């Protein structure tokens, strides 16, 4: 059994490998069972790799893109794991290897039958505590502390892939694996929602998590690869970060400076929430690193100027911006939406800020800083 490792899927593979005894990491196709986990941004490269391969392989796909586009992936793969793979993937591999069960009977997969895409349903959400984020002696990744999201942001795959109910690893289980690392970072759609339904913070649960982690660990909470919704940023939460964590920054998801755009994509917070969070970060000597997205559907020149105004506010308050250009993702309400063009003035202003080290990322197609 072989897992195809790349720069984007380390944490996903680290969580799956302990469930498949004898599995190994490879950097390209080899004979035998080959499992890939990938997002939409990597899909074309993965398809090219498999299409140009001459190995004797059984190909399995999983991750955000295959879960949303199983039919497309079955042009290259033999099986697609839909949604969470902790239960489905080991069962599928056993059925392939043992030959005592038809792999097509495995729940939670897609396959082709006579050229037709067949989907065997989707499994119920797993209990995260029953599955390790990585093994003690193998590939390690970030620790996933929460899965699922109660919000319905139009561009986001998370609630469609993992459900609208948030699930959390217990502090005890997180601490067990954190103890195997020096620097501890987490995966969560909203780190400050740990232990809650996702609709409001539970500071006591966050404190229990941070206290459970061994003192010798350096904790980075609410930073990449996690982020924090701005309305969850309160003095009580920032006090916990300052007391227990090694953060010098906090990653905030703003996405737009236009309230009409935020409402249109169902973000569920206000521009004022973002500004308040940025100012609170300043009060606690934390650098806010704020995500924005340009090119959202229906975005006007005036909307983009409002986002640029928010960018200026963040930068002038001592923060930094990580910018994205809207990419329609499969399985989301905005899957077929057309990105809005970015105005020349916005492009120039973002370019100047990038040269000054205040902005990173992308703000129009194929332009990176």
Query: What is the pLDDT averaged over residues 234-251?
Result: 98
DSSP assignment of 212-266 equals: HS-TTSEEE-SSTT--B-GGG--HHHHHHHHHH---SEEEEEEE-S-HHHHHHTT
In the predicted structure, residue 367 carries a pLDDT above the cut 80: no
- Decide if pLDDT at 166 tops 90: yes
**Averaged over 5-31, what is the pLDDT?**
96
Domains of the chain by start residue, with CATH = 2-119 (3.40.50.280), 128-368 (3.80.30.20)
- Evaluate if residue 82 carries a pLDDT over 70: yes
Closest CA to 91 of 107, 79, 69: 107
Residue 368, pLDDT > 80, answer no
> What does the pLDDT average to over 62-91?
98
pLDDT at residue 190 greater than cutoff 90: yes
pLDDT bucket at 366, cuts 50 / 70 / 90: low
Sheet holding 218-220, edge to edge: 143-144, 183-187, 218-220
Dihedrals φ, ψ of 367, to 5°? -115, 120
* Nearest-angstrom CA–CA distance, 296 and 311: 16
pLDDT confidence of residue 369: 39
285 has a pLDDT exceeding 60: yes
**The pLDDT of residue 174:** 99
pLDDT score of 181? 96
For the cut 50, the answer to whether the pLDDT of residue 97 exceeds it is yes
Could you report the per-residue pLDDT of 100-118, keeping only the tens digit for each?
678 889 999 999 999 999 9
Task: Determine the average pLDDT of the residues in 292-298.
Answer: 98
Q: Which residue in 256, 271, 267 sits closest to 325, CA to CA?
A: 256
């Amino acid at each position: 059994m072989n897992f195809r490792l790349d720069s984007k899927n380390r944490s996903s593979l680290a969580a799956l490998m302990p469930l498949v005894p004898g599995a190994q990491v490879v950097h390209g196709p080899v004979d035998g069972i080959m499992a890939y986990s990938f997002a939409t941004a990597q899909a074309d490269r993965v398809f090219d790799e498999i299409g140009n391969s001459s190995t004797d392989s059984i190909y399995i796909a999983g991750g955000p893109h295959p879960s949303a586009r199983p039919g497309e992936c079955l042009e290259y793969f033999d099986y697609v794991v839909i949604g969470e793979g902790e239960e489905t993937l080991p069962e599928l591999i056993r059925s392939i290897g043992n030959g005592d069960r038809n792999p097509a009977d495995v729940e939670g997969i897609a396959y082709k039958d006579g050229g037709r895409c067949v989907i065997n349903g989707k499994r119920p959400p797993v209990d995260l505590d029953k599955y390790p984020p990585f093994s003690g002696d193998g590939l390690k990744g970030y620790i996933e502390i929460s899965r699922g999201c109660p919000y319905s942001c139009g561009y986001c795959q998370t609630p469609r892939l993992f459900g609208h109910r948030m699930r959390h690893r217990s502090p005890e289980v997180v601490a067990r694996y954190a103890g195997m690392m020096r620097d501890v970072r987490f995966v969560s759609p909203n780190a400050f929602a740990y232990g809650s339904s996702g609709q409001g913070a539970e500071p006591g649960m966050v404190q229990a998590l941070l206290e459970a982690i061994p003192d010798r660990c350096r904790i980075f909470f609410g930073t990449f690869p996690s982020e924090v919704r701005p309305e969850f940023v309160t003095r009580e939460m920032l006090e916990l970060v300052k007391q227990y964590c090694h953060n010098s920054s906090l990653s905030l998801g703003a996405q737009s400076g236009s309230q009409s755009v935020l409402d249109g994509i169902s973000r569920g917070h206000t521009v004022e929430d973002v500004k308040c969070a940025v100012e609170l970060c300043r009060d606690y000597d934390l650098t806010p690193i704020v995500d924005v997205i340009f090119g959202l559907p229906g975005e006007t020149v005036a909307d983009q100027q409002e986002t640029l105004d928010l960018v200026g506010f963040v930068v002038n308050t001592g923060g930094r911006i990580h910018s994205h250009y809207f990419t329609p993702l499969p399985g989301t309400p905005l899957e077929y939406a057309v990105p809005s063009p970015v105005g020349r003035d916005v492009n120039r202003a973002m370019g100047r800020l990038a040269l000054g080290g205040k902005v990173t990322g992308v703000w129009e197609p194929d332009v990176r800083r």
